[in-house]
Structure 1
């Protein structure tokens, strides 16, 4: 360690500039999430290096210097609140630490803010460099996003190789707005402040020449002003195209409706535990499926599972409860109060970042925050805090204390980088696995699956994919045998099936409150009904657990009813099908299966009525319409006079997929489902259970 302390500070500032430039534009097409995950990894790595440099600097100076701002305590309390919610509400404590936008992200941003505060008062030169770094990033982001949006809107056609090699990866229009709005406030600050000043003087002159001669932030050269103006114009073009796409698209917005987000957040506070600490970070999906209102089935989002809420505040309330929300509101209110005071009191080099932080808070009121949105908020908070008169510096001359801080920093850095790198490597392998599966490279997929689970066994999605892979190989092997299966093949199939079930059970143990995990396990058992003894009962048990976790899902009701149907338990099948159409009145497949069950029971009059309901829903010229019409004719033949009563969906009667194996396979006891008495993946919620229709 021969470098002088100020060299370490300069290096930290350089890292801050690099991070600030890359946050808007950085992506790596190596994982299924090429935008948020690489940004999160970049944030962790650079923050870790900056923390290490600060700790080394303390040792070099043989003293500990701490800069404490008015935001340090509120932000620390909010961070602690999310960590407490993690331990109280989440069954899987690791997954939220590794997921972008969850607990790990907030802890990283707290450390980032703390380290930036240790720079002391930010110089005018550093502030200018930060804005120019953002300007360069904004130009690239806006240009690339605009090109992709223009192609989406059919105005241009990009070369095919760009899509093939994923050369242009951009956020969707909604996410772009969460990044572009704070960016525009930061980069357009000189022009915004000058415009406000002119309006205050009742002298409005917004010509290019007057904008270039901005007096709002003195000390800027014409080149720097031109760069800021150019980046602002690029952002305005991108925002305009994004807004145009959102308002002209016929597709529903990829955003949970506000009324649904509010309903889920408020319903979660009915119980003391969830009221105080929420369902746990990373558990919004579980909360959504358990307590979403049945009315969602009448919207285009009826078959969408949302992992995030309508906006950041609803997300915080749902996952961390009233404790987390009040702590965040306290922090946000202080940022708002201090920021507005700064804006009205004086204008300086930090003003643009204050506007960016306030813009990020405003975005969070309406949309879920991206990594970039959080970054603009915390960068503004760090720079604003450094200039605040109440900021104080604590010094303690102690080489022992300095070494303790270095040790503590390493205690944070080493596990974070080690486990974070393993998690990222697992994501890279997971994408490669899916590519191998698409190319029918089973051996490659199996090897990578094994590597993934050694690197990061805490992601239930990995285990779900693995379970499907093993089952597909088993089905393929069984289907190839035209004649009686020999003993060696039976043993191989049995091992594959056993591993498929094991992976699916690991998924439900890692994410016990996720209904889709239980649905996956039930689907595997269901495909084995013709091949494995006891698979029918296992299927019923797991589907019933899935229904408990997602009671307003009409598809699950049809699946459960389908199992009853194949077991010839028609009354129970009819009940589930009736619940499915009660939950979604235009669910064609629900009516179709209801008609099939009523027909098998011998109630031809009601079966005909259900099939007529199908004909009212499906498109007239579709194959489904012809299919339903033909079956209705067959039903009507069995009863001469039937009184008539009063979305393109695939009509499919209940069947058990998978080859039939004779004699059936016998699996060991580990294959049986383990149904918890009470869901433990998230705190038990007050869920609206739909009333069963009268039979």
Structure 2
């Protein structure tokens, strides 16, 4: 029937367009203009094709599904990610929306299966579309380097940035282009038409130039230089994760939790000690950490299939399959990205010989409408929930724009609206909590507080605590969420009864989830110091110094606490250690030297920290509001889950 042919052609061109534009698709209305738009574009494209496929099947009264060589591996990886997200990832919105690793995996896997329903001619179009995306990506990179985008006033600000490229980072862009180079070379070798061969040759040179330019920018000393933890650090995290959760890992998009819990203490001796990473230094380690042995088994099945296909392809002189082999090798060296995983699935679809086998999914006894119904229901559900999530992200971006314009009212209103639209995103709650605390602090600093001011402050503090608690509830395993709640309690200790113990409880939980982080222990020690519990403060500051012996601030805080206990010998020893750790020409050195002189004169009071850069002494709390505000019962922090 002509209508079914038309629908099939529409399906084909949507898939070709998705292959060619996925890596390039950006949109300025989101806080992450590189990731979320690609997710939306991919979801809309594959959903549209699924609906068209269902309609075509109903019209034909028949459903057929072609089987490819990599089907089992692709299906296992998709299932592993989905199950791990459901079972292990605490905040499902992270896994399914932003960063949305699971959704990208699902989109890419569905794309693979959809492309497999077409023959070799369509797959060649997909391959050429991918190669074309590499050309366009290189052109955009060259435009950025030449400053051409910056000269177009109509473009959004993020496109005028000197490091802009549509993929969202120099490393994934470089890997994307390098992977496509064998495709270009193979096209040059195979093409018989001289004009086309010349075009592919020039295009390959352009892509090579773009990849080389990006690679140069990634070299040490460059602004976009690669900075990742060592292989030993990420391997230690993999092993400890498998000991804790062997089957499903920590859950997709939850690598940072494993990083906080399991990185070795030797990491604190590196220049990266304060950085928290959301990925390992290669894709396979990230996969195993997040999806466990289930992910390892799935990728092993897929890699075996890829190895066999590559060997067979080389024997048949299908040189373009080298791009697939190159990509899986690059995954062993570098971290992945949504664009790269999509590229992997696209290449698998292109090189899968799916036309050889076909299996019927419906007969006259089973109406095709029943087969199509789950697909249509799934697409409708995705449209409903996805629309709300997208609207919330757009609103959140507006709130950040208002924040950049110092418009506190709109910032507060829009963030609250984003939470109403999508209440399960912890970063929305975290942002609103910080905004509410900033507004409350601004009001509290007024000289003459009215009763209305006190009520407003109380309301803002209560709301900030609730938002902080929401971040913890949405992801209790995330140390940063507990740290945020602890800082809220710490900031209101001077005028809110009961906040001191809440600060201790929440800091303690943050430390438990990030045990070698010295800054968290300094924060907890600062709470004890503010309460006059100097022995407890000393114990905590000691642990901070043990976690990172070369961190001057740990020793400085410990010296101050010793001074309060009149243990001047220990205080002087710690302050001398500080002097060996800070530059002699810095304000920190002057501060430490003055404090040392004061300690040597047995003076308990220490000089003010004016002019200090990195040394932050613990602060005693002064009452800002009289009488103190009494926190409501619901201000109690949530209990930590074991």
CA RMSD of aligned residues (A): 2.4
Contact kept? 1:47, 1:112, Cα under 8 Å: yes
Structure 1 stretch 90-99 or stretch 310-319: which is displaced more?
90-99
Contact kept? 1:508, 1:518, Cα under 8 Å: yes
Q: Distance in 2 between matches of 1:268 and 1:661?
A: 46
Alignment of 1:571-590 (within 5 A): 571-590=535-554
Q: Distance in 2 between matches of 1:262 and 1:538?
A: 36
What's the counterpart of residue 243 of structure 1? 215
User: How many pairs are equivalent?
Assistant: 628
Q: Distance in 2 between matches of 1:17 and 1:673?
A: 51
Structure 1 stretch 74-83 or stretch 49-58: which is displaced more?
74-83
What's the counterpart of residue 207 of structure 1? none
Unpaired runs of 5+ residues, structure 1, are 192-213, 640-647, 679-695
Contact kept? 1:541, 1:675, Cα under 8 Å: no
What's the counterpart of residue 609 of structure 2? none
Match for residue 345 of structure 1 among 313, 316, 328: 316
Q: Distance in 2 between matches of 1:161 and 1:656?
A: 51
What's the counterpart of residue 165 of structure 1? 157
Match for residue 286 of structure 2 among 315, 319, 323: 315
Contact kept? 2:482, 2:507, Cα under 8 Å: yes
Shift of 1:650: 1.0
1:570-629: per-residue Cα shift (whole Å, max 9, x none)?
Answer: 111111111112111221111111111111111112211211222222222111111111
2:514 is the counterpart of 1:544? no
What's the counterpart of residue 686 of structure 1? none
What's the counterpart of residue 607 of structure 2? none
Q: Distance in 1 between matches of 2:16 and 2:388?
A: 27
Shift of 1:341: 0.9
Q: Distance in 2 between matches of 1:11 and 1:25?
A: 21
Q: Distance in 1 between matches of 2:615 and 2:421?
A: 41
Q: Distance in 2 between matches of 1:162 and 1:592?
A: 51
SS in 1 for 2:64: strand
SS in 2 for 1:67: strand
Shift of 1:370: 1.5
Match for residue 384 of structure 2 among 418, 432, 440: 418
2:562 is the counterpart of 1:601? no
2:519 is the counterpart of 1:555? yes
2:454 is the counterpart of 1:454? no
Contact kept? 2:388, 2:422, Cα under 8 Å: yes
Match for residue 177 of structure 1 among 174, 178, 185: 174
Shift of 1:658: 9.0
2:233 is the counterpart of 1:260? yes
Match for residue 183 of structure 2 among 186, 192, 213: 186
What's the counterpart of residue 503 of structure 1? 467
Q: Distance in 1 between matches of 2:129 and 2:352?
A: 21
Match for residue 261 of structure 2 among 290, 294, 297: 290
Alignment of 1:96-245 (within 5 A): 96-100=95-99, 102-119=101-118, 121-123=119-121, 126-148=122-144, 159=151, 165-168=157-160, 169-170=164-165, 171-191=168-188, 214=189, 217-219=190-192, 221-245=193-217
Shift of 1:101: 5.4
Shift of 1:472: 1.0
What's the counterpart of residue 275 of structure 2? 304
Structure 1 residues 331, 515: CA separation in 2 closer, same or farther (over 3 Å shift)? Answer: same
When normalised by structure 1's length, the TM-score is 0.86
Shift of 1:240: 1.6
Shift of 1:287: 0.9
Shift of 1:422: 2.3
Shift of 1:508: 0.2
What's the counterpart of residue 351 of structure 2? 384
Q: Distance in 2 between matches of 1:441 and 1:29?
A: 20
Alignment of 1:368-407 (within 5 A): 368-387=335-354, 389=356, 391-394=357-360, 396-398=362-364, 400-407=366-373
SS in 2 for 1:650: coil
Contact kept? 2:251, 2:290, Cα under 8 Å: yes
SS in 2 for 1:66: strand
Unpaired runs of 5+ residues, structure 2, are 604-611
Structure 1 stretch 74-83 or stretch 55-64: which is displaced more?
74-83
Contact kept? 1:475, 1:658, Cα under 8 Å: no
2:331 is the counterpart of 1:361? no
SS in 1 for 2:81: helix
Q: Distance in 1 between matches of 2:185 and 2:229?
A: 31
Shift of 1:379: 1.2
1:92-112: per-residue Cα shift (whole Å, max 9, x none)?
Answer: 334311134522221222222
What's the counterpart of residue 473 of structure 1? 439
Structure 1 stretch 532-541 or stretch 412-421: which is displaced more?
412-421
Shift of 1:137: 2.4
